[in-house]
Amino acid sequence: MRFALPLVPAVAVLAVASLCLPYTASCSEPSSAAPADTTGPAPLDDTAIVAASRVIDLPLTRSERDSLRQDLAEQRQAYALLRAARVDNATAPALRFDPLFWRPGAADSLTAAARSPEAQPVWRLADRVVRPRDAAELAWMPVADLAVLLRSRRVTSEELTRLALARLREYDPQLRCVVTLLEDRALARARQADGELDGGLWRGPLHGVPCGVKDLLAVPGYRTIWGATPYREQIRPELATVVAKLDAAGAIVVAKLALGALAWGDVWFGGMTRNPWNLEQGSSGSSAGSAAAVAAGLVPFAIGSETWGSIVSPATRCGVTGLRPTFGRVSRHGSMALSWSMDKLGPIARTVEDCAIVLDAIRGPDGLDPTVIDAPLAVRPDLAPGTIRVGYLADLFADNAGSGDPSRDLDRAALDVLRAAGFSLIPIALPAREVSPLGLILSVEAAAAFQELTLSGRDDLLVRQIRNAWPNVFRAAAFIPAVEYIQANRQRLLLMRDFAALFDNVDVYVTPSFGGSGLLMTNLTGHPQIVVPNGFSASGAPRSLSFVGRLFGEAELVAVARAYQDRTDWHRRRPEGF
C-alpha cells in the first residue's frame, strides 16, 4: 500500500512519559515529580506536561498545567487498564464508516433495488471457446473463457487446478509470491466441482476456476501470517467470508499469496515479491503476490485488498487489471484489519470482465461485517455509451501535466480511445481540498489495530525498521490526539460531500492512476476504482489508467473501463519467461 506518515510535530523525548509507552525508559517518573496523591495515581510533573503539550501544539499556562496534572495521571491509568484487556485484531471499534452517511435512506434504496430481477448482472460469455492445443496456454486464458470450457467439459477443474499448482511451484522461487499452497483442499474441491459440472450443476462463471487469495484472509487449518514475522505461525479459527463466497461460487482457492508485512509494500519475511516484468524490481504492494501471480499466469485471478493504493499500485506495476470496490460492497470478516474505515477487498485479474465476475461472487452482506450493504451490480454487455456521463481530470491530461513525462502521451491517447468508443468526455477537476492531513486517520486506526504488537516490543521483529515503515508509524501515531482524529473525520465528511457534488455531473471519471490526490481522496470517501493497463514506458515498464465511479456504481464503471479495454490489447501482453 502507498502510505503517508502522519503530520505531527517533532516528538519531545519527555512527552513519552505522558503516554507511558513501555518501549522507552521514560515511563518512570522523574525525580522532580510531584508527590503522589494518595487518593489516585501519581500526577505528572510540570516538565512532562510542557513537553507533551508541545507535541500536540496546545499552549498551556502554568495554572492550566496545574489543573491538568491529576486528570492526565488518571487518563494514563485508564490507558493501562485498557491495554491490560487485550483485544484481537478481528474486533472492530463500536464505530463504523458509512460512505452514504450523509444521505439518509440511501442504503435502504439500494437494498430494495438489489432485489429487482433487472439488478442481476449479465456476463459476456462466448457461445463456444476453442480449447488451445497446448494445454499450457490455459494458464493465460481469462476467467470468462475458462468458464465456457469448464461448462462445456472441454477442460476439467482438476486439470486447471493441477496446472495452477504446478506453475506456482515452478515460478515461486523467482517471484516469492506464494506463502502457502492449499493443495489438498484445492484438489478435493476441484474434484467436487467436476462432479457437479458432470451432473449438470453450474454455479456460475467461477465454477471450477482456480484462484489465489492475499494472505490476510483466514482459512482454518492453514497459516495466515500477514507477511509479518510475529505472526508467521498464526492459524486463525475463522473462515474469511470472501473465501466462503468463492467456495460457494465453485472457485478453487489454490494458494495464499504474499503481501508486504502488515499490508505495506512488497517486502515480507520471505523476501521481496518480484515483478514478473522485471525480476530486479518488487511487484509493489501490498497486494504484491496477488498481482504478481496473475501477471505471470500462475492463477487466472486473485483477491487483493486496498486501504490506500494496495490494489492500484501492484496492478499498475505488474500490468494487470484490478478493481477496488465501493467501501461496503464486500465483507472484511476473516481479513486482517488495518483500517476499519478504509480497508476494502477486491479482485485482480486479466480483464475488467473477469474482475466484475469475481466481484459479483464475493459481494453482499454476511451478517458479520456491519458495514456491508446489499446493492445491485447490474453489469450489462450492451450499455450504450450515450447513457453514461464520463468525465476526465482535465489538468492531469493537459500537455504540461507530468512535467514532460513522455508516458503522459499514453494517458492522452486513452482519451482518444474513449471518444472513439462513443463517450463524450466532460472536463472536471478534483475537489480543491487539502487532504494529506487526513492520512492520519489510517495511521491512528492501524496503530490501534496493532497496539499490542507495539507495546510488546515484537514490532522489532518486522523486517523493515526504517522511518517509512510500520514500527515507526505505529509509535508516531500514538502521539496523535483523539481530538485530531475526530477533526480529521469531520473534514472527511466535507470531502464526501465534495465528491457527491462532483458525481452530480458525471457517472464515471478517468484519471492517471497516480494523478494528484485522487487516490487518497477516493480511498477516504469509499468510491470504487478500476485500474487497467494502458501501455509501457520507454524502459518497458507497464503503465496504467484508472476509472473511478459513483458509490456502488460499479456497473457503469465496468462498462466504461471494459469499452476502453475492448479497443486496446495491453492486457493481453505477457512478461517473458513465464
Domains of the chain as residue ranges with CATH: 1-85 (no CATH), 106-120+133-434+487-572 (3.90.1300.10)
* Residue 85 pLDDT greater than 60, yes or no: yes
> Which uninterrupted H or E stretch holds 363?
none
pLDDT digits (tens, 9 = 90+) for 14-47: 233 333 443 333 333 333 344 444 456 788 899 9
| For residues 442-452, average pLDDT | 98
Q: Cα 554 from chain centroid?
A: 16
Select from 427, 431, 424 the least CA-distant residue to 393: 427
**Percent of the chain clearing pLDDT 90 (strictly above):** 89
Nearest to 526 by CA among 485, 493, 501, 555: 493
pLDDT in tens, 182-237: 999 999 999 999 999 999 999 999 999 999 999 999 999 999 999 999 999 999 99
pLDDT in tens, 139-157: 999 999 999 999 999 999 9
Sign of the Cα torsion 61, 63, 64, 69 reads positive
This model's pTM is above 0.85: yes
- So what's the pLDDT on residue 263? 98
Rounded Cα–Cα distance for residues 141 and 297 (Å)? 9
% the chain with pLDDT above 70: 92
Active site residue 63: no
Least confident of 65-79, 211-225, 525-539: 65-79
Q: How far apart are CA 26 and CA 146, in angstroms?
A: 61
Q: What is the mean pLDDT of residues 367-386?
A: 95
Residue-by-residue DSSP string for 176-216: --EEEE-HHHHHHHHHHHHHHHHTT----TTTT-EEEEETT
Question: Looking at 53, 157, 214, 546, which residue is catalytic?
Answer: 214
Tell me what pLDDT residue 402 has: 55
Grid cell, residue 405, equals 513525462
Under the banding of pLDDT at 50, 70 and 90, the label for residue 403 is low
Q: Given this model, what pLDDT does residue 239 score?
A: 98
Instruction: Measure the CA–CA gap between 304 and 487, rounded to whole angstroms.
Output: 30
Q: Is 317 helix (H, G, I), strand (E, B) or coil?
A: helix
pLDDT digits (tens, 9 = 90+) for 341-375: 999 999 999 999 999 999 999 999 999 999 999 99
**Could you confirm whether 256 is annotated as catalytic?**
no
DSSP class per residue in 515-531? -TTHHHHHHHHT--EEE
**Residue 102: its pLDDT value, please?**
83
Whether the predicted pLDDT of 64 surpasses 80:
yes
pLDDT of residue 1 exceeding 50: no
Question: Is 284 labeled as catalytic in the residue annotation?
Answer: no
How high is the pLDDT of residue 406? Answer: 66
How many angstroms separate the CA atoms of 440 and 478, rounded? 11
Question: What pLDDT, on the 0 to 100 scale, is given for residue 7?
Answer: 35
What was the pLDDT predicted at 39?
A: 56
What is the pLDDT confidence band of residue 528, given thresholds at 50, 70 and 90? very high
Burial of 444 (0-12, 13-18, 19+ CB in 10 A): buried
Residue range 258-274, pLDDT digits in tens: 999 999 999 999 999 99
Q: Rounded distance, CA 372 to CA 484, Å?
A: 27
* pLDDT in the model for residue 530: 98
* Cell numbers given for 333: 470478516
Active-site residue, from 26, 157, 286, 287: 286
pLDDT at 41: 78
Q: How far apart are CA 281 and CA 271, in angstroms?
A: 12
Residue 406 CA to residue 423 CA, distance in Å, equals: 25
Q: Which of 26, 290, 310, 339 is catalytic?
A: 310
Across-strand partners of 390?
425, 508
Q: What's the mean per-residue pLDDT of the chain?
A: 92
